[in-house]
Structure 1
Amino acid sequence: MIEVKSPAWWRATLALCLGSMLVFINLYAPQPLLPDLRESYQVSTLMIGLVMSLATLTLAASLLIYGPLSDAIGRGGIMRLSLLGAALVTLMLAWAPNIDSLLVLRAVQGLALGGLPAVAIAWMGDEFEPAAIAPAVGLYIAANTLGGIGGRVLGGSIGDWQSPDIAFMCIGVITLAGVVVFWRLLPPVTSFRPQSFRVSRAAGSLAGHLRNPLLLGAYLVGGLNFLVFINQYSYMTFRLADAPFHLDAHWLGLLFLTYLGGTLGSSLSARVASRLSATGNMIAGIVIMMIGTAITLLPVLAWIVVGLTISAFGFFLCHATASGWVGRQATQARGSASALYLVFYYLGASLGPLWMEPFWLWTRWPGIALGSCLVLLITLGLAIWLGIRQARPTGLATGCTTEVER
């Protein structure tokens, strides 16, 4: 097993962080371009939002395949091929002739992107000693935020300077170069023990995880929080592209530098967890998200940036804790357990516009803030319930520990 802070730990963590960045660069690059794409194709806000929603929806669906499959055939090959496929699809986006083909390619890209996030944390659970997992997960989630920032800044800057087509082409080339580095950097596995793949076994593992209240609660917290977080950013681009702000794609891309608050939150999650319980971490993160959302109601760009930064810190503090919680609560079929968390996570992002759009049409940003806080009240209640439930070491479902998470 790989020990914390050893050379092998740093090499493996760096490889997984690089892979994570590449996934989220490709997933989120179109987001600052949404107002321009809406104008170009003369479609509605809800329709152009499918550029993001379809990719996250198919990514979520793919996790149900990659997770159980990785328990049978291993995780390294899945991650490598997944990144390669995503890079090739990004290059194809540059030649999409119309909105229909763009949406189809984004759906295919979501299927390709799911391979790495489905199994990366499970790879850590196989190869790292227990004490090495939490700090690695924190850095891995921090890399998620850096990838999200990088994709949006690159997409917005190149798209504003040239065009969305050139942005996709440049990002595809960057991704291919990163795949070569990832391919060589990821260490060979030493502790993985394959299980023969059977549909009945995979379905049984997934059903067992869903019957585990400590896992199901974390799944709902992650999915509902992400519903709020990612769609706040999408609707914020529409808010800031209109009067009185009139920001172009370049500045909308730079807006996502507020994700650096999330980078800090995720990287500090393990340290904060040493002072609070894991559920205390989740509760703190959700409350911070609500505070950040309230600040964005102020009609001043500087305060909007502050509010988004605070919200990002709270979201990723909670997300890093919840995803690590799943990896530790599941003592078997970890690939399936981690994948199922991400299914809920990305399903929340995909369904978010259906929840948010009526609030947006009702009263624009104040409506988005209200819709967000209603969902966050639900996740706050779930996090409190998880803390109460975990404190009672009664009959838990298969694949779960009874040890209090600290």
Structure 2
Amino acid sequence: MSPADTGASTVVDAAAPATAPVDSSSAREDSRLTPGGPGYRRMSFALFLAGVATFALLYSTQALLPLVSDDYGVTAGDASWTVSAATGGLALFVLPLSALSERFGRRTVMTASLSVAVAVGLLVPFAPSLGALIALRAVQGAALAGLPASANAYLSEEVRPRALVTAIGLFVAGNSVGGMSGRIIGGWLAQEWGWRVAVAVIGVIAVACAVAFRLLLPEPRHFTAGSLRPRDLGRTVRDHLSDPLLRRLYVIGALFMAVFGGVYTVIGYRLTGAPFSLSQGIAGSVFLVYLVGTVSASTAGRLVGRVGRRGALYLAGGLTATGLLVSLADSLVLVLLGLVLITAGFFAGHAVASSSVSKTATHGRAQASALYQSAYYIGSSAGSTLGAVAFHAGGWSGTVGMGLLAVAGVVAITVLGSRAARVAARREPVAV
């Protein structure tokens, strides 16, 4: 086990006298936050609210795409760019902003990112054209890029290693609540007053979350400022990309998010069209299934403890694939069941993969998390657009087909990783 996994950088000889000085790294670990300890609840709630604001803003137009299409007179594929632009902006800027967090601190960068994102969110309802809306959403996504990687790095530094998966799972649970509440509230408001009023209210809710986040998040105690030199950043990124396990985790995150982004970008079109013909409000309420994601993400730590990382990824992929197949039925009950399984599988897989990145990286954790987030949101952006194109070409079955290919990729990569690990273990010299 690496020092990063244990939280210690030196090994104390078991034969050392009892009066040996306490290792400073052990003391550092003891001072980290732990469930039930002082400051842990404040930290968890603050990052939970940050996750709520991030996903509520990032996907604020996703459930409203049919109304956006009608307002601007565009196709589903064109309207989907209001989602893809936001996630694409986040993917492009997550690495540069994570580098700033290494120099100026996680809390500072997260606060600045949320401030800019909520300010832009208050401008989005006034977009005069689809092009202007897409541009604003791209800026909003770029601003939000300072949140995910910095939050994971903050947790890896401030929370004890054994509690890290649970802590990140709670942050991901905040993502699911934000995505759910933004879509549900937006759906009902849009039904009565249009999509512009809906995204305006979401923006106001995000402002409240941002203020509470800043007031509640504890001052970091274990942050050490790093360098902003491009050469150092390039070296760190190169180190992470040369790690086979990290590369696999990045691709797995991207593939899971491609499925999720594709499904939830076009589900509104399917539910408001024949044979279901639901109202915008009821269609938006379908996002209540995000509560399943809240549970699956927050319990990912226990799942990994029982079946291991690979077992958890297989289970997450299996749930997602089963949900896609079930959703093909022209039955509203089965479509909802399919969404429940897809959501549970996605959030479990995401929590496992993202926490594994934080555990695997031995240095430059913000950059390691940033690369994961970049791949993750590239997957979201690609999945949103490809899902809409597939829906336009082949209906819901086209979107499902795209999702099944992505899940097959997750399983294949996990299998190859397992084989690579066994080969590496056989080559490992036996200690004598």
Deviation at 1:394, TM superposition (A): 6.2
Amino acid in structure 2 at the alignment position of 1:126: E
State the secondary structure of the residue aligned to 2:221: coil
CA contact (8 A) 1:224 1:379 kept: yes
Offset from partner CA, 1:213-248 (integer Å, 9 cap, x none): 100000000001111111111122111121121122
How far does the alpha carbon of each residue in 1:144-177 deviate from its partner, in whole angstroms, 9 at most, with x for none?
Answer: 1111101111211111121222112222222222
> Which residue of structure 1 lines up, in the alignment, with residue 145 of structure 2?
114
The aligned counterpart of 1:86 is: 117
The farther-off stretch of 82-91 and 239-248 is 239-248
Q: Using the TM superposition, give the Cα deviation of residue 118 of structure 1 relative to its aligned residue in structure 2, in angstroms.
A: 2.1
User: In structure 2, what residue type is equivalent to 1:188?
Assistant: E
Structure 1 residues without counterparts, runs of 5 or longer: 397-401
In structure 2, the CA distance between the partners of 1:8 and 1:392, relative to structure 1 (3 Å rule), is farther
1:27 corresponds to which residue? 58
Counterpart of 1:379 in structure 2: which amino acid? V
Secondary structure in 2 aligned to 1:43?
coil
1:2-60 C-alpha deviation (Å, 9 max, x unpaired): 23321211111111111111111111121111001101111111110001000000011
Distance 1:395 1:168, change over 3 A: farther
Q: Are the counterparts in 2 of residues 4 and 131 from structure 1 also a CA contact under 8 Å? A: no
- The 3 A distance-change label for structure 1 pair 321 and 73 is same
- Is 1:331 the counterpart of 2:356? The answer is no
Matched, 1:230 2:261: yes
Q: Residues of 2 paired with 1:249 and 1:377: CA distance?
A: 33
- What do you get for the CA RMSD once the two structures are aligned? 1.7
Structure 2: runs of 5 or more not aligned? 1-31
Alpha-carbon distance between aligned partners in 1 of 2:78 and 2:392, rounded to the nearest angstrom? 14
Instruction: Measure, in 2, the Cα distance between the counterparts of 1:354 and 1:93.
Output: 20
Q: Distance in 2 between matches of 1:389 and 1:67?
A: 30
Corresponding residue number in structure 2 for 1:320: 351
Tell me how far apart the structure 1 counterparts of residues 107 and 141 of structure 2 sit (CA, whole Å).
19
Q: Using the TM superposition, give the Cα deviation of residue 356 of structure 1 relative to its aligned residue in structure 2, in angstroms.
A: 3.2
Matched, 1:242 2:273: yes
Larger mean Cα displacement after TM superposition, 157-166 or 279-288: 157-166
Amino acid of the residue matched to residue 58 of structure 1? G
Q: Select 1:209's aligned residue among 236, 240, 246.
A: 240
Residue in 2 that maps onto 1:37 = 68
Pairing 1:6-405 to 2, within 5 Å after superposition: 6-393=37-424
Contact 2:109 2:147 in 1 (8 A): yes
1:272-314 deviation digits (Å, cap 9, x = unpaired): 1111111110111001100010000110111100110011101
Farther-moved stretch of structure 1 (14-23 vs 258-267): 258-267
The CA deviation at 1:392 is: 4.8
3-state SS, counterpart of residue 143 of structure 1: helix
Separation in 2, partners of 1:182, 1:265 = 24
Moved more, 245-254 or 319-328: 245-254
* Distance in 2 of aligned mates of 1:34 and 1:264: 27
User: What does the per-residue CA deviation read over 1:110-145, in whole Å, with 9 as the maximum and x for residues that have no partner?
Assistant: 011111112101101111121221211111111111
SS of corresponding position for 2:341: helix
Q: Which has the larger radius of gyration?
A: 2
Give the conservation status (yes or no) of the 8 Å contact 2:262–2:386. no
Q: Output the CA distance in 2 between the equivalents of 1:326 and 1:392.
A: 21
SS of residue matched to 2:147: helix
SS at match of 2:395: helix
Distance in 1 of aligned mates of 2:389 and 2:138: 24
Could you tell me which amino acid in structure 1 is paired with residue 142 of structure 2?
L
The separation in 1 between residues aligned to 2:176 and 2:67, in whole angstroms, is 24
Identity of aligned residues (%): 33
TM-score (norm 2): 0.89
Distance verdict in 2 for CA 1:186–1:395, change over 3 Å: farther
